[in-house]
Structure 1
Amino acid sequence: MSKFSFLKFLVLILIFKSISLNAQLDLEHWFSPIFIQNSHIITSVTLNLSTPSTTPVEYKIFDSNNVVRKSGFITNSTPLVYDIPLSIYLASKYEGMRPIKKGFHVSGASSLYASIRLNFDNGQNTELITSKGKTAIGNLFYSVNAPYQDFPRNKEVNFQSNIIATKDNTKIKISGYSPKITFADGKKHPDGIEITLNKGESYCFVSTKADNSDNDPVLDFLYWDSFIGAKIESDKPIAITNGNFKGNYFFEKGGKILMDQSVPVKKIGKEYYIRKGFVSLDWEIEGGLIVSTENNNKIYLNGSSTPTYTLNEGDFKILKAIDFKDEGIFVKSEKPIYFYQFAGGNNNNDKLTLYPYLTPSMAFVPPLDQQLPNTIGIINDIEKIDDFSLENLTHILAYKPTELTINNQSYTTFSDIQGNNDWKYFTIKNLKGNANITSDNSIIMGIIGGFETQKRSGSFAGYYTGYSNDPVVQVNGNCIQEGITLKLSNSDFESFQWQLNDVDIPGANLSTFSPTVEGNYSCNVSYSGFTYKVEPVEVKNCNYAITDIALGTDCGQIIFEPKFSAPNQSVIISKIEIMTQPNNGEAEPSVDNLIIKGNPDYNGPDRIVIKLSGSGITEIQKIDYTIFNNPIADLLSNIDPIRTEDQFNIYDLENAIVNYNNETFTFYKNHDDLDDDIPISSIDKNNYETIEDEVYVLIKNSFGCSSIKKIQLNKPKIIDDDALLLPNVFTPNNDGINDYFDFSKLSDFLDFQLKIYDRTGKEIYQFKTGMPYKWDGKSTSGINYPSNTYWVIYQVNDPKTNTIIKRSQWLLLKRD
């Protein structure tokens, strides 16, 4: 479903935290603030820290000014439950849409789990926000929140994406939402929003129903839901918590806390599985939300070979009861997706016959990953929010299990996942206290909780894995002579110091290092008051000869034909083997050639080591080269004319350029002109007259690399009478059917005007820019006009002739 599509069913949200490559066990955890309104009783907001370590682990808690608020030690038997000062975590309704000093981060001498447990309104609104550690930090995200439904009348219903910066001078841009949205600063931001934050500073991108009352008294979710899938980019690492403080996707009047920490696109996946919560599927509360990060992304459900949906970048789709098989959903996509679960946390259907929707939560779902650890522990008081113990279901996903141990109890029987033969699931009810889980291979644990009676309507859920982001030294190369490179698996630290045989190497202060002598190499990394020593690796000299070859510079990719060196240059090569891949790219041998590609984000020198075989001889070669990326060429594939004169269409060719990216764009009438280097002049390109339907563009970047693209020149739209016809009858009686005189089909036309008159000729309504493209049959003061016949006069601009077309018609308003 497109982000602008109509949503029939609305969903609740549960909180499953973490992701496979993004688990909670980590050295640092960053928590952005959450935005709230003032109509809530804040019962408790606590930070829970735990560790699997039996020896004491030192921790520190920093506020947004990077001042230590609390420090101490924890063990697996002595976790921390800390009442977070509300002044450092909760953002008020006056703190949306501006930089604020809110949020905090946690660091430990070794890795630990961290989560926030929220209790508002004495158990009516509860939530669990589980940190993904450094996995939650990145540069590209897509926003996710609950889709809106128009039943509630509560003005505080909102969506939010809350950002915290981990470095100074962090530039952030958010885009890809409808220009109709009014944000909490009372403004529309049709061209996107750009901000700059320093370390520890936060920004709450937020919009409430009340903010949009001028757009439409009954909020139009056709544009409001477009924030689902909004693109969030930054030049330095940030962390995001998104969702809704008051949100709903079902027929609920008030809205609940639906919040979770997100992860960057580079950490999401293509395979997911969820099990439902407590509520019957008949209520359409259990479900999921998919957001695609790329175009033409095919989505397959429950092992089907036929895609159920195809989504483009930023598009979303709700999964509902019909998508469950055996109370679970297995999702597989061709390209990366975000997947969030909606679930209900109350298991007493007898007492909740009328109000099962009072227990929603929202959960980020981790992708299935067989590289995860096989142990999770210790998670303290897993069933609790504040002093409340909640009924819960714990779903454990296990990769090729034969045995599962939960708190020393062994289990050997597992259930199948339809669509995936390798992963199984096991469900246990009402797990309490500290959780410690092990299996043969990778495991993921998700817990869903809720109150058993109608007296309180809070719920929660969370995902945990045992994955740690503790840095390790990754080695590229086999020995010194190959040009070996050492690189940390996690480089998000404040400083680095490489050591040779436990002695500091002067000037070796980056996250990568290239040794020149053999020995044991390690690195000390510093972060938030701690220093962590990375396990050393041994680097040796080569015991074989290596031939050095220099290729020079190329763009995009290098196609190289290897040869033996003299005096064997005429020997036919029978086999090409890659001994060491490039540091910043990938190489693949073909029959006669070696194809070398650089990483999209890298420009500069590199090397590859290969082994040649043929006619009984072998040779190892180190090939040095410099590779630059081709231009990004951020262009539209087609553009519309700005006007038409006589038989010519007029185009502003620069409208095709989405982002310059420090690149130059030269336009040509046709390919022959491009070959002869006869460009369209800089004067003509903004008013380019033509009857042709394409132009060519030569794009060059600062490295001298170039690419060619063709731009389709759209012909003007021809307006026919059917395109201008509007309905003649509407019945504003609040039955949900034909309640508006809807003229939204004309919203894309320029110079649109519309007025409505009564039978005496008195003007009773006039459309103005920014108003919804529909009329509710009321005066500006909210008084209902009576059932009667009215007259409508309207106009649009015909883009083919650049002339105004005027139309008029009668309109029957019928309230009976």
Structure 2
Amino acid sequence: MISAKKGLYLLFFLLFYCLGAKAQLSDLHYLPPLRQGQNNGAIQQQAVYLSTPETTAFTVNVYQGTQATPVATFSISNTTPAVYNLGNGNNDVTLVSDSNTGVVLTNSGLRFEAPGGNNFYVNYRGRSGSQAASLTSKGRVALGQNFKWGGVPNLGSHVSKSNTLGIMATEDNTTITLSGYDPDCEFRVGSNRAGITADTFTITLDQNESFVFETYIGTSPTLAHERGWIGASIVSDKDIAISNGSLNYGRQAGSSNRDAGIDQPVPENRLGKEYVFVRGNGNSNGWTEFPLIIATENNTQVFVNGSATPIATLNDGDFFEIPSSNYSSNSVGANMYVETSKDVYAYQCMAGSNQAYTQGLNFVAPVNCLLPDTMDNIPDIRDAAGININGGVTIIAATTTPDSNIVVTDGGGTVTLPASSAVAGTTDWKTFYLPNLSGDVSVQSTGPIAVGFFGFNGARGVAGYYSGFDTVPDINLQITGNSCLPGAVLEIASGESFDAYQWYGDGVLIPGATTSSYTATTPGDYYLRVTRGPCSYDSNSIAVYNCDPDIVLNKSVNNSSVQDGSNVTFTITVQNFWDDPVTNLVLTDILPDGLTFISATVTSGTFTNPNWNLGTLNPGQLETMTITAEARLTNIYLSSQTLTNTVTNTQDQTDLNITADDPTADVTVNMIAPTTVISNRRITIRVNKN
């Protein structure tokens, strides 16, 4: 879940089996390898499509793995796109076999480069007898050092169901760490589906080497493998490219229904806060029609269709499925508007029909008011990896652009533009849906546009989008003065100037903070919104912490007043606001008389009643524990009694409590009133017990 204030995320849908579109012009593209749960089970035939808006032909070289010599060379132009055909199934180039999973690879993955610096699109498409998928390359803007593993929960079971993450390095001695996944997640190494079981895993890759992770579901699904990988962090010390998703995945619990869905995301510094989703053709029950938001920072609020009340509040790595009922209707082409208080990843599950096995996946990319006004072109929109399909496009355009100024052409000439659809919650954008196009498709406008395409033929289809990650200014912040509080000054690293400035702390506007620099006073996440002309853009987020140890405890209870014998659940959070790691951290929660321990869950570390042993807590890291207990009156002569539950912390460092803790929660336990029954001149007192 846009980088710009006027950012927007655009989704396109597929019909039946979803394939993506070419999304980003660049002179360099990386396609890391991936893994399917069963050879040919998701993808058998596969090809890479190359196209460009440039009218003069230029050369594109294709490199495999670490090879310095091209494995293929193409000459492309606007009128002469190219197709690079690949070997079938697990060819160990784009899709890897068992022996190449969970190990460092030197001969897998592809790199496409125009030596003359010309820009072009790259789109991978693959299909099998019943499934299909596509991956949209984002070019140079796909390169970065901080990512989240994305996709949607993979429900049901089948030998081909699996989730995958592919990583490709751009420099030698690149260290990459995967963390933040469910501790019960297992990752394949060769034929061992559970070869990696550690809570974090670190690899080192040289330039153009790659590595593939797989969480296999198969016929033995677990909650961890269904969803525990979503939102995991991928952090490197040098630029990498990743691709992710599921080959295959299901959206119906207890069923073998399945399809394929993969895409290439961008790093966290390329994300944003404002989106428009365009609905596919899935069932109104919402199984296969919903956006999924992944937070990159704590306390991220998610708002839908202009509502002032968040539909969800997420912490770093958490995800939320926005119900399909928030679309403007259950019809194909309906839309939904989503805003978030902090930068997020946005994915969309969508379907080509009302069946539960026709879903696909798209990573939803940001657009903004500096988007180009031309998309030229989508080559042969009816071609889906060798299958002839019926195609169409979706368009998101600025409301300031007259409909008459948007011109769509395909192989048959100019296409009549339908009426636009308004987007609830924003006056900035409108959407269009044009089905049944053919040939090369282009869109010309006098204002910013983002264009998606789709197509279908029976049980196969194609979908994706065109957008402009590289059109938004790259506003990176730095800390000067002290590196921690007090005395930390935030400013734009490049020194670039803009027309106006507004600082935000933890997603909330800071009154009066309207200059190019800001002296932070409290720990948290900060970003800067800058304005140039009619457009506003958000910087990357930067964290500021205290120079001295500061461990913050908070406790809450789900019900502060209960009847005698009822269960209550306490939620305890701990966060490190010190700019160094806290070590040997232990939280102790001794329940008072009247509260009897039932169970506990923790997001990290181990719990042995009453101690939660966290070990090391890094700067900004937030962890959560829930404790369920039974509440009882300890004095039978009282009608009610308040029980106080307090959590405490110990660690190697001295906690200076710079930030106020809230470590206590009260529960009032109320006696269940006895009932009185008068019968045959006798008075019977019935004492109610649980």
Q: TM-score, normalised by structure 2?
A: 0.67
Which protein is bigger by CA-based radius of gyration?
1
Aligned twin of 2:84: 82
Secondary structure of 1:430's counterpart equals strand
Partner Cα separation in structure 1 for residue 27 and residue 549 of structure 2: 38
Does residue 723 (structure 1) correspond to residue 597 (structure 2)? The answer is: yes
1:404-445 superposed Cα distances (whole Å, 9 cap, x missing partner): 111144638422111111111111002221111111211111
Task: Report how far residue 163 of structure 1 moved.
Answer: 0.8
Task: Report how far residue 309 of structure 1 moved.
Answer: 1.4
Does residue 114 (structure 1) correspond to residue 132 (structure 2)? The answer is: no
Partner Cα separation in structure 1 for residue 81 and residue 280 of structure 2: 28
Aligned twin of 1:365: 364
Partner Cα separation in structure 2 for residue 117 and residue 592 of structure 1: 48
Partner Cα separation in structure 2 for residue 135 and residue 283 of structure 1: 32
Give the 5 Å matches for 1:297-446: 297-326=300-329, 327-346=334-353, 356-400=355-399, 401-402=401-402, 403-407=405-409, 408-409=414-415, 411=417, 413-446=419-452
Aligned twin of 1:197: 205
Aligned twin of 2:247: 245
Secondary structure of 1:184's counterpart equals strand
Partner Cα separation in structure 2 for residue 15 and residue 635 of structure 1: 48
Contact persistence 2:304–2:326 (CA under 8 A):
yes
Residue identity opposite 2:45 in structure 1: S
Aligned twin of 1:228: 230
Decide which of 241, 261, 265 is 1:262's aligned counterpart. 265
Does residue 62 (structure 1) correspond to residue 63 (structure 2)? The answer is: yes
Give the 5 Å matches for 1:14-33: 14-16=18-20, 23-33=23-33
If asked which structure has higher relative contact order (CA below 8 Å, sep 6+), I would say: 2
Task: Report how far residue 188 of structure 1 moved.
Answer: 4.8
Residue identity opposite 1:58 in structure 2: T
Contact persistence 2:36–2:162 (CA under 8 A):
no
Task: Report how far residue 639 of structure 1 moved.
Answer: 11
Contact persistence 1:17–1:260 (CA under 8 A):
no
Partner Cα separation in structure 2 for residue 718 and residue 314 of structure 1: 34
Residue identity opposite 1:385 in structure 2: A
Q: Which ranges of structure 1 fall in alignment gaps of 5 or more residues? A: 1-11, 350-355, 475-488, 492-551, 561-579, 600-627, 641-655, 666-684, 687-710, 726-742, 753-798, 801-816
Does residue 292 (structure 1) correspond to residue 295 (structure 2)? The answer is: yes
Call closer, same or farther: CA 1:581–1:290 in 2, change over 3 Å.
Answer: closer
Contact persistence 1:62–1:105 (CA under 8 A):
yes
Partner Cα separation in structure 2 for residue 275 and residue 594 of structure 1: 37
Residue identity opposite 2:348 in structure 1: Q
Give the 5 Å matches for 1:357-756: 357-400=356-399, 401-402=401-402, 403-407=405-409, 408-409=414-415, 411=417, 413-452=419-458, 457-465=459-467, 583-584=494-495, 596=517, 637-638=552-553, 714-717=588-591, 722-724=596-598, 749-750=607-608
Call closer, same or farther: CA 1:13–1:334 in 2, change over 3 Å.
Answer: farther
Task: Report how far residue 35 of structure 1 moved.
Answer: 0.5
1:644-672 superposed Cα distances (whole Å, 9 cap, x missing partner): xxxxxxxxxxxx997998x587xxxxxxx
Aligned twin of 2:48: 47
Secondary structure of 2:452's counterpart equals strand
Secondary structure of 1:194's counterpart equals strand
Does residue 125 (structure 1) correspond to residue 131 (structure 2)? The answer is: yes
Call closer, same or farther: CA 1:304–1:66 in 2, change over 3 Å.
Answer: same
Call closer, same or farther: CA 1:379–1:634 in 2, change over 3 Å.
Answer: farther
Call closer, same or farther: CA 1:449–1:592 in 2, change over 3 Å.
Answer: closer
1:4-44 superposed Cα distances (whole Å, 9 cap, x missing partner): xxxxxxxx9955557xxxx5111111000111244427542
1:773-801 superposed Cα distances (whole Å, 9 cap, x missing partner): xxxxxxxxxxxxxxxxxxxxxxxxxx99x
Residue identity opposite 1:273 in structure 2: V
Task: Report how far residue 751 of structure 1 moved.
Answer: 8.7
Task: Report how far residue 553 of structure 1 moved.
Answer: 6.4
Call closer, same or farther: CA 1:88–1:306 in 2, change over 3 Å.
Answer: same
Secondary structure of 2:269's counterpart equals helix
Contact persistence 2:391–2:454 (CA under 8 A):
yes
Task: Report how far residue 224 of structure 1 moved.
Answer: 4.3
Task: Report how far residue 458 of structure 1 moved.
Answer: 2.9
Decide which of 88, 92, 96 is 1:91's aligned counterpart. 96
Partner Cα separation in structure 2 for residue 224 and residue 635 of structure 1: 36
Task: Report how far residue 48 of structure 1 moved.
Answer: 0.6
Secondary structure of 1:134's counterpart equals helix
Call closer, same or farther: CA 1:744–1:24 in 2, change over 3 Å.
Answer: closer
Partner Cα separation in structure 2 for residue 40 and residue 593 of structure 1: 56
Residue identity opposite 2:398 in structure 1: Y
Decide which of 267, 274, 279 is 2:277's aligned counterpart. 274
Partner Cα separation in structure 1 for residue 305 and residue 475 of structure 2: 35
Call closer, same or farther: CA 1:586–1:51 in 2, change over 3 Å.
Answer: closer
Partner Cα separation in structure 2 for residue 93 and residue 720 of structure 1: 55
Task: Report how far residue 247 of structure 1 moved.
Answer: 1.0
Call closer, same or farther: CA 1:96–1:84 in 2, change over 3 Å.
Answer: same
Call closer, same or farther: CA 1:751–1:320 in 2, change over 3 Å.
Answer: closer
Residue identity opposite 2:40 in structure 1: H
Contact persistence 2:552–2:575 (CA under 8 A):
no
Call closer, same or farther: CA 1:386–1:155 in 2, change over 3 Å.
Answer: closer
Partner Cα separation in structure 1 for residue 100 and residue 578 of structure 2: 34
Partner Cα separation in structure 2 for residue 372 and residue 228 of structure 1: 30
Call closer, same or farther: CA 1:404–1:243 in 2, change over 3 Å.
Answer: same
Contact persistence 1:135–1:469 (CA under 8 A):
no
Residue identity opposite 2:32 in structure 1: S
1:370-423 superposed Cα distances (whole Å, 9 cap, x missing partner): 111111112211232122122344211011221211114463842211111111
Aligned twin of 2:161: 157
Residue identity opposite 1:422 in structure 2: D
1:125-180 superposed Cα distances (whole Å, 9 cap, x missing partner): 1112111111111111111122032x32x244211111111111111111111111
Secondary structure of 2:231's counterpart equals coil
Task: Report how far residue 450 of structure 1 moved.
Answer: 2.8
Task: Report how far residue 585 of structure 1 moved.
Answer: 8.2
Aligned twin of 1:176: 180
Secondary structure of 1:450's counterpart equals strand
Call closer, same or farther: CA 1:750–1:429 in 2, change over 3 Å.
Answer: same
Partner Cα separation in structure 2 for residue 287 and residue 56 of structure 1: 41
Residue identity opposite 1:451 in structure 2: N
Call closer, same or farther: CA 1:204–1:555 in 2, change over 3 Å.
Answer: closer
Call closer, same or farther: CA 1:441–1:246 in 2, change over 3 Å.
Answer: same
Call closer, same or farther: CA 1:631–1:204 in 2, change over 3 Å.
Answer: farther
1:528-579 superposed Cα distances (whole Å, 9 cap, x missing partner): xxxxxxxxxxxxxxxxxxxxxxxx966569999xxxxxxxxxxxxxxxxxxx
Task: Report how far residue 336 of structure 1 moved.
Answer: 1.0
Secondary structure of 2:245's counterpart equals strand
Q: TM-score, normalised by structure 1?
A: 0.57
1:208-237 superposed Cα distances (whole Å, 9 cap, x missing partner): 125xx8xxx5x3315741211111111111
Partner Cα separation in structure 1 for residue 337 and residue 372 of structure 2: 21
Contact persistence 2:485–2:547 (CA under 8 A):
no
Partner Cα separation in structure 2 for residue 325 and residue 591 of structure 1: 37
Call closer, same or farther: CA 1:91–1:13 in 2, change over 3 Å.
Answer: same
Partner Cα separation in structure 1 for residue 466 and residue 300 of structure 2: 28
Contact persistence 1:181–1:224 (CA under 8 A):
no
Contact persistence 1:100–1:203 (CA under 8 A):
yes
Partner Cα separation in structure 2 for residue 235 and residue 285 of structure 1: 37
Give the superposed CA RMSD.
4.1
Partner Cα separation in structure 1 for residue 248 and residue 65 of structure 2: 25
Contact persistence 1:345–1:460 (CA under 8 A):
no
Contact persistence 1:48–1:116 (CA under 8 A):
yes
Partner Cα separation in structure 2 for residue 378 and residue 30 of structure 1: 21
